[in-house]
Amino acid sequence: MLTRVAPRLAANVQARGYAKFDKVQAEAAVASKAVKSDIPASADAKSRLATEKGKLLEQYGDLYNTLDRQESARDLFSGEYYKMNARQQEALKALVDAQNAALAPVLEKYGADLRPGAARIKSDMHHALAPEAEPVRVAVTGAAGQIGYSLLFRIASGAMLGPKTPIILHLLELPAMQQALQGVVMELRDCAFPTLRDVIVTDNPEKAFEGVDYALLVGAQPRTKGMERGDLLKKNAEIFSIQGKAMNKTAKGKDTRIVVVGNPANTNALIAQRNAPSIPASNFIAMTRLDHNRGLAQIAEKTGCLVTDIDRFVIWGNHSATQFPDINHATVKSKLAIDVLDSKWVNDTFIPAVQQRGAAIIAARGLSSAASAGSSAIDTVYDWHFGTAGKWTSAAVVSNGEYGIEKGIVYSYPVVFNEKKWEVVKNLPITQEAAVRMEATHKELLGERDAIASLLPK
């Protein structure tokens, strides 16, 4: 068992020159005693196994929750690991490898219970201890705008793809914004990020998307005073048609993944996707992670818990005021959210607050969401790149007909990411009230699609 093996491993690491593993040794010894002390010597094999399983699940849950509260290996080791000498790094890798080997038989017995947490921990450890990767090319459109400005420095610092992944930024802006963009590039270089290898600046979409691994489509036509929504849709259809065609011509194709941030995000993603037939439709996502994060924050504030105490919260539909923030499947500290939260608060306060949060921010600061939008884009790519280890998040993806949504529409679902692919969480029970709300946002998306149908390739 891991609890029996870890003390010896830790002692071995300590002997090889990394004294900080005293803590590992002590914690492992305590954990081992805790399991043994709760199993009476007279217990039969079945009861001993049940007790041991329960304790292991509890310990593993604590470890998983610790990692999930952003104290993951990428954070814990981002400084310390890279300060170690080669022998210390080798010792740490040996410890991680041996712990994984010790954990294997436990996973084989209790795989269904432990595998999601194990996947997350293994992923974190792998990326924290992996050798430096090849540079990843990331395109950002509207790079001189407020969201772009909030995004670029975090991407360049390693927050999106890890501290060992070199980044080459491809920045696209309008000709009139090139001077402002040069100032942003000067700041990026002045930060001296170890992960930033190069910055490519252009007003040419084909050059911007050439060979990129990820594209964050941030720049979009904003709605101005007196502009009808149909006019806004058509103007953005022109922009995202051009960008879709450019990606189709010069991006990596099946290895390029696109996150659309610019509004109306779902329909803009549809337009770009339809104009890029060489890129799989599943490689396009419209960002509803911002709405998802807003919902988590509202629930956490209401219940006094941490956002990491909340699971299985869902955003359905459009990134607009018709979206449906759904708590019917959610848990708060393992309790059903519908039992924790008052239904009147949910319907009268929570749902409208999430739906109208963008407007509220504009009213408060005089400008639209920038930092939170940029942060949510980072979260989306991070989860897509590293996986969510079985945990749900929300993303607007090209529908395959799930939950009665028309195929081809970009609709927000509960999704799980694994190995750079997403999967919609299927077969969830839908209440009548939820079905009505889901259909309302579905109809809005169908209307948006129909408004720009003449501009979509056949």
Whether residue 283 is contained in a domain is answered as no
Residues 123 and 151 in one domain: no
The whole-number average pLDDT for the span 264-272 is 96
- Determine the pLDDT at residue 33: 54
Residues 305 and 448 in one domain: yes
Domain extent, residue 56, equals 2-129
- Determine the pLDDT at residue 17: 38
Cis previous bond, 264, omega within 30: yes
The answer to whether residues 405 and 442 touch, using CB atoms and an 8 Å cutoff, is yes
Q: Which residue has the higher pLDDT, 435 or 46?
A: 435
Whether residue 278 is contained in a domain is answered as no
The answer to whether residues 297 and 422 touch, using CB atoms and an 8 Å cutoff, is no
Whether residue 349 is contained in a domain is answered as yes
Task: Give 46-102 pLDDT, tens digit per residue.
Answer: 565 566 555 555 555 554 444 443 333 434 444 455 556 677 666 666 666 666 666
Q: How many domains does the chain have?
A: 3
Residues 450 and 369 in one domain: yes
Give the pLDDT band of residue 187 (cuts 50, 70, 90).
very high
| Last residue of one domain, picked from the residues 217, 238, 273 | 273
Residue 290, pLDDT above cutoff 90: yes
- Determine the pLDDT at residue 424: 97
Residues 167 and 108 in one domain: no
Using DSSP, state whether 412 is helix, strand or coil: strand
Whether residue 102 is contained in a domain is answered as yes
- Determine the pLDDT at residue 412: 98
Choice among 170, 319, 329, 442 that is catalytic: 319
| Last residue of one domain, picked from the residues 67, 100, 129 | 129
Give the pLDDT band of residue 38 (cuts 50, 70, 90).
low
- Determine the pLDDT at residue 95: 65
Name which of 66, 33, 55, 53 is nearest 108 in CA terms: 53
Give the pLDDT band of residue 124 (cuts 50, 70, 90).
low
Residues 191 and 97 in one domain: no
Active site residue 319: yes
As a whole-number percent, the residues of the chain with pLDDT over 70 amount to 70
Residues 418 and 443 in one domain: yes
Whether residue 450 is contained in a domain is answered as yes
Q: Which residues contact 287 (CB under 8 A, 6 or more apart)?
A: 259, 260, 261, 265, 319, 373, 376, 377, 380, 395, 396
Residues 34 and 102 in one domain: yes
Residue 186: CATH number of its domain? 3.40.50.720
Task: Give 377-392 pLDDT, tens digit per residue.
Answer: 999 999 999 899 889 9
d(CA 72, CA 128): 9
d(CA 200, CA 182): 10
The answer to whether residues 325 and 315 touch, using CB atoms and an 8 Å cutoff, is yes
Angle (CA) 272-275-276 rounded to 5° is 90
Whether residue 280 is contained in a domain is answered as no
As a whole-number percent, the residues of the chain with pLDDT over 90 amount to 60
Q: Which residue has the higher pLDDT, 311 or 52?
A: 311
Whether residue 279 is contained in a domain is answered as no
Give the pLDDT band of residue 18 (cuts 50, 70, 90).
very low
Q: Whole-model pTM?
A: 0.74
| Last residue of one domain, picked from the residues 244, 273, 302 | 273
Whether residue 40 is contained in a domain is answered as yes
Residues 390 and 301 in one domain: yes
Residue 15, pLDDT above cutoff 50: no
The whole-number average pLDDT for the span 335-347 is 95
Q: Long-range contacts made by residues 101-105, C-beta under 8 angstroms, separation at least 24?
A: 102/1, 102/2, 102/5, 102/6, 103/2
Residue 338, pLDDT above cutoff 70: yes
**Highest mean pLDDT out of 98-107, 157-166, 341-350:** 341-350
Residue 357: CATH number of its domain? 3.90.110.10
**Token pair recorded at residue 16:** 């090889």
The whole-number average pLDDT for the span 195-214 is 97
Lowest-pLDDT choice from 22-26, 106-110, 347-351, 362-366:
22-26
Q: Which residue has the higher pLDDT, 46 or 21?
A: 46
Residues 197 and 70 in one domain: no
Residues 153 and 200 in one domain: yes
Residues 435 and 305 in one domain: yes
Residues 103 and 203 in one domain: no
Residue 395, pLDDT above cutoff 50: yes
Buried/exposed code over 151-166 (b: 16+ C-beta within 10 A; e: otherwise): bbbebbbbbbbbbbbb
Task: Give 211-267 pLDDT, tens digit per residue.
Answer: 999 999 999 887 666 667 777 888 888 999 999 999 999 999 999 999 999 989 999
The whole-number average pLDDT for the span 433-451 is 96
